[in-house]
């Protein structure tokens, strides 16, 4: 059996940043396993710009951002295998993988970092009524077809869901000569960034219909028309509000789900809200020595935050390999309250944590003129005013070790409070 | 006097901005909550520009297309002209990241720059 100190599953932005940080923390024996034929993951098909403002203080396209990290991996001589599929990760940190050259093989790792990313919610998961003709794609599939394979999925397009990928694809299809008829969004607000709504829809006069969903798909062989209708507060279609659009393509941009089939097999505990592993302050899952970062942990909006989080996972995995685990110490539960849907991490160990830990979270609704308030037990430890909070934008608070050292803190709560 | 309506892109607030124009002169910006809104509005009504990202076909490459961008902002109303000019452009593999694929697109003075690599087909 081959042995490595650290195996990283996935060579996208999370896996690359984790590998670089683990090497810089002194781990020499690292293997990245990537399923695709090149490193970089989903960034390779995200050819638009706007990546890297936080990390590099400049606006890069996806492939350029990936390239910066691929170079760092190559400069450090970190080993990677392409076209290689991980089949199983076991609790004892053995990893079963296969590729065309080596067949199936087993690797024993001292630590594993999960960096498999996420998947798009499919038509089946959305329960869309109507026929099942050709011409229905997830927005990311269409993005790959157009940007990497040079193929146009269709000429007249309706898009369901206003997530960033859907908005980006509305512009992309328009620039390639397609007519995007409408973007329909079930919720009364868009999950996409304001910048994308303006620069991908308004620039091209593409209507965005909030509180709308698809109620009918016509066409036996190919999509011929899509009917959308307004929905009420219960998110059910309102009869009489139907509008029919003739089109040949329906793109779906209706949310992303962390891809944790492998994690489940390893016995990693998953969160019912994020769909990703439950982790502590070291981004370590319920299985000792298995860490998680990036979109497999929770879906991010900005790749810069993925890189930052993944670098932490790399450092923590290195520390685990070098010093072993200390699980026996005090562990405090982070509770999301009023308006906060979840937090990552879920547990904080005051003795083990560094001086500061960044807690990332999402809110449940749009809140204006409010504050993000953090309590250690009953004691308020931070209060930050916010003009606006929206579910589409990941938020964060920084916990300080000094605030959590006193004995008897039962939990840490983060909540949204109204400002006077 | 002409009034223009804009949505600010500075943050998730998405303030609805009203810009009063006297010909090409900005008279006032209202509806913004912070300074960024006014800066955005003034630029957007007088000189709106965008970086355009797209792909062009590759001849003899291991991949069919290579991604590219305008090396700098171009005027917003020239986006479609540029896409038209690029529609029939084909470049020969290999292409390296940063290669200039076309000089001075549509007389904008801006070059088209490769943002990914296309190795030659083996």
Q: Average pLDDT, stretch A147-173?
A: 96
* B46 touches A at CB < 8 Å: no
Look at B67 and A63 and tell me if their CB atoms are within 8 Å: yes
- In the block, residue with structure tokens 């309250």: A337
- Pull the structure tokens for residue B78: 């020239």
The predicted structure's pLDDT at residue A357: 95
Q: Is the pLDDT of residue B1 over 70?
A: yes
Q: Average pLDDT, stretch A153-160?
A: 98
B98 — alpha (psi -120 to 50), left (phi > 0) or beta?
Answer: left
Look at B55 and A150 and tell me if their CB atoms are within 8 Å: yes
Write the CB contacts of A302 (distance below 8 Å, at least 6 apart in sequence). Answer: A54, A394
Q: Which CATH number fits domain B53-114: 2.120.10.30, 3.10.530.10, 3.30.1050.10, 3.40.190.10?
A: 3.10.530.10
Cα–Cα distance measured from residue A34 to residue A30, given in angstroms and rounded to the nearest whole number: 13
Residue A225 burial class via C-beta count within 10 angstroms: exposed 0-12, middle 13-18, buried 19 and up: middle
Q: Which residues of A touch B115 (CB under 8 A)?
A: 47, 61, 63-64
Of A59, A64, A194, the CB nearest to B14: A194
Nearest CA-CA partner of A331 in A310, A321, A345: A345
Nearest CA-CA partner of A176 in A213, A194, A197, A151: A151
CB-CB contact of A252 with A136 (8 Å): yes
Look at A199 and B69 and tell me if their CB atoms are within 8 Å: no
The predicted structure's pLDDT at residue A114: 98
Nearest CA-CA partner of A198 in A230, A173, A164, A229: A164
Q: Furthest-apart CA pair in chain B: how many Å?
A: 63
Q: Is the pLDDT of residue A4 over 70?
A: yes
* B85 touches A at CB < 8 Å: no
Write the CB contacts of B35 (distance below 8 Å, at least 6 apart in sequence). Answer: none
Q: Average pLDDT, stretch B90-116?
A: 96
Measure in Å the smallest separation between the Cα of B38 and chain A Cα atoms: 16
The predicted structure's pLDDT at residue A199: 93
Q: Average pLDDT, stretch B24-39?
A: 90
The predicted structure's pLDDT at residue A327: 65
The predicted structure's pLDDT at residue A326: 66
Nearest CA in chain A to B117: A63
Of A176, A195, A390, the CB nearest to B9: A195
Query: What is the CA angle A65-B51-A189, rounded to 5?
Result: 85
The predicted structure's pLDDT at residue A147: 97
pLDDT digits (tens, 9 = 90+) for A347-365: 999 988 999 999 999 999 8
Cα–Cα distance measured from residue A394 to residue A372, given in angstroms and rounded to the nearest whole number: 13
The confidence band for A55, taking pLDDT boundaries of 50, 70 and 90, is confident
Nearest CA in chain A to B11: A194
Residue ranges of B 5-24 with Cβ closer than 8 A to chain A: 7-14
Q: Average pLDDT, stretch A246-264?
A: 97
Look at B79 and A175 and tell me if their CB atoms are within 8 Å: yes
The predicted structure's pLDDT at residue A194: 84
- Pull the structure tokens for residue A189: 């607000």
Nearest CA in chain A to B9: A195
- Segments making up each domain of chain B, as ranges: 2-47, 53-114
Q: Is the pLDDT of residue A404 over 80?
A: yes
Q: Is the pLDDT of residue B10 over 80?
A: no
The confidence band for A206, taking pLDDT boundaries of 50, 70 and 90, is very high
The confidence band for B28, taking pLDDT boundaries of 50, 70 and 90, is very high
Which of A19-28, A92-101, A405-414, B57-66 has the least mean pLDDT?
A: A405-414
* B4 touches A at CB < 8 Å: no
Cα–Cα distance measured from residue A285 to residue A309, given in angstroms and rounded to the nearest whole number: 14
Q: Which residues of B touch A392 (CB under 8 A)?
A: 12
Q: Which residues of A touch B97 (CB under 8 A)?
A: 63-64, 67
The predicted structure's pLDDT at residue A60: 94
> What backbone phi and psi angles, to 5 degrees, belong to B35?
-65, -35
CB-CB contact of A14 with A27 (8 Å): no
The predicted structure's pLDDT at residue B12: 67
- Pull the structure tokens for residue A134: 């050709």
Q: Average pLDDT, stretch B94-107?
A: 96
The predicted structure's pLDDT at residue B78: 94
Query: DSSP label at A366?
Result: -
pLDDT digits (tens, 9 = 90+) for A82-96: 999 999 999 999 999
Q: For the whole model, what pTM was predicted?
A: 0.93
What is the average pLDDT value for chain B, to the nearest integer? 92
Beta bridge partners of A144: none
Q: Average pLDDT, stretch A316-323?
A: 95
Cα–Cα distance measured from residue A13 to residue A188, given in angstroms and rounded to the nearest whole number: 32
- Pull the structure tokens for residue A27: 């781990």
Beta bridge partners of A230: A212
Query: Which of B67, B85, B119 is the best mutation test for A, with the most CBs of A within 10 A?
Result: B67
Cα–Cα distance measured from residue A21 to residue A315, given in angstroms and rounded to the nearest whole number: 6
Q: Which residues of B touch A48 (CB under 8 A)?
A: 53
pLDDT digits (tens, 9 = 90+) for A129-145: 888 999 999 999 999 99
pLDDT digits (tens, 9 = 90+) for A259-286: 999 999 999 999 999 999 999 999 999 9
Q: Which residues of B touch A67 (CB under 8 A)?
A: 97, 116
Of B11, B12, B64, the CB nearest to A150: B64
Preceding peptide of A345 cis, ω within 30°? yes
């Amino acid at each position: 059996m081959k042995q490595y100190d650290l195996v990283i599953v996935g060579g996208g932005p999370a896996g690359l940043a984790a590998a670089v940080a683990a090497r810089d923390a002194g781990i020499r024996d690292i293997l990245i396993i990537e399923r695709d034929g090149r490193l970089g993951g989903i960034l390779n098909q995200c050819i638009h710009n706007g990546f890297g403002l936080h990390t590099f203080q400049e606006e890069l396209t996806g492939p350029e951002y990936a390239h910066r990290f691929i170079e760092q991996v190559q400069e450090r001589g970190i080993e990677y295998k392409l076209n290689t599929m991980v089949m199983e990760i076991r609790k004892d940190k053995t990893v079963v993988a296969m590729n065309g050259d080596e067949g199936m093989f087993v690797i024993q790792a001292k630590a594993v970092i999960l960096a498999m990313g996420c998947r798009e919610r499919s038509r089946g998961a959305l329960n869309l009524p109507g026929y099942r003709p050709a011409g229905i794609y997830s927005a990311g599939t269409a993005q790959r077809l157009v940007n990497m394979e040079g193929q146009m999925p269709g000429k007249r397009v309706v898009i369901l869901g206003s997530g960033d990928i859907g908005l980006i694809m509305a512009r992309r299809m328009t620039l390639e000569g397609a007519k995007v008829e409408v973007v329909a969004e079930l919720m009364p607000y868009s999950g996409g960034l304001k910048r994308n709504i303006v620069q991908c829809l308004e620039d091209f006069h593409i209507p965005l219909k909030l509180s709308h969903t698809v109620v009918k798909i016509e066409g036996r062989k190919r999509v011929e028309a899509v009917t959308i209708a307004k929905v009420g507060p219960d998110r059910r279609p309102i009869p009489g509000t139907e509008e029919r659009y003739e089109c040949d393509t329906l793109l779906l941009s209706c949310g992303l789900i962390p891809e944790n089939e492998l994690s489940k097999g390893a016995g990693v505990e998953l969160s019912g809200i994020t769909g990703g592993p439950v982790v502590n302050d070291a981004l370590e899952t319920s299985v000792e020595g298995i860490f998680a970062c990036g979109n497999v942990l929770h879906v991010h909006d900005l790749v810069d935050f993925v890189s930052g989080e993944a670098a932490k996972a790399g450092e923590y995995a290195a520390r685990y390999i070098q010093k072993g685990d200390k699980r026996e110490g005090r562990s405090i539960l982070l509770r999301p309250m009023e308006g906060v849907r979840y937090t990552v991490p879920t547990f904080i160990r005051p003795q083990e944590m560094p001086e500061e830990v960044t807690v990332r979270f999402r809110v449940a609704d749009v809140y204006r003129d409010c504050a993000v308030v953090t309590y250690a037990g009953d004691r308020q430890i931070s209060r930050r005013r916010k003009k606006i909070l929206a579910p589409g934008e990941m938020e964060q608070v920084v916990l300080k070790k000094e605030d959590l050292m006193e004995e008897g803190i039962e939990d840490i709560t983060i909540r949204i409070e109204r400002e006077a | 006097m002409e009034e223009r309506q804009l949505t600010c892109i500075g943050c998730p607030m998405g303030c609805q901005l009203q810009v009063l124009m006297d010909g090409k002169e900005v008279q006032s910006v209202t509806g913004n909550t912070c300074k960024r809104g006014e800066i955005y509005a003034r630029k957007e009504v007088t000189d709106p520009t965008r970086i355009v990202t797209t792909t062009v076909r590759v001849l003899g490459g291991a991949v069919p297309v290579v991604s590219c961008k305008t090396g700098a902002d171009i005027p917003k109303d020239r986006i479609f002209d540029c896409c038209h000019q690029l529609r029939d452009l084909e470049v020969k593999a290999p292409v390296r990241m940063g290669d200039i694929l076309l000089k001075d697109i549509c007389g904008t003075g801006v070059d088209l720059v490769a943002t990914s690599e296309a190795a030659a087909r083996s």
